Amino acid sequence: MITINDGCGHVFTTPVEVIDDEYRNGEHFRIAVTRAADAAFASPMLALEADDLARLLMDIRTFIARRNAMH
């Protein structure tokens, strides 16, 4: 779980166990986001699996592009 709060990057990690159907439905992401929110992390948040670095890079690029487009 990665959250950007006040322009600073903070990392929240949590192990999540789900059954196959829950995994296919993205329940593991919802659980991770809920746990991060319970730990006082705030939106916007990017939820991803620990070994998904390619997705992380794309999510960061998208976030930066959207933020730059607002200015």
Give the tens place of pLDDT for each residue, 10-45.
Answer: 788 889 999 999 999 999 999 998 998 898 888 777
Q: Taking Cα atoms as reference points, which of 44, 54, 18, 16 lies closest to residue 32?
A: 16
Q: What is the pLDDT of residue 7?
A: 58
Give the chain's largest Cα–Cα span. 43
Decide which of 56 and 22 is more confident: 22
Backbone φ and ψ for 2, nearest 5 degrees, come out as: -125, 135
Asked whether residue 68 carries a pLDDT value surpassing 60, the answer given is yes
Q: What is the pLDDT of residue 5?
A: 55
Q: What is the pLDDT of residue 31?
A: 93
Q: How many domains would you assign to the chain?
A: 1
Segment 33-62 shows an average pLDDT of 83
- What range defines the domain where residue 39 resides? 2-70
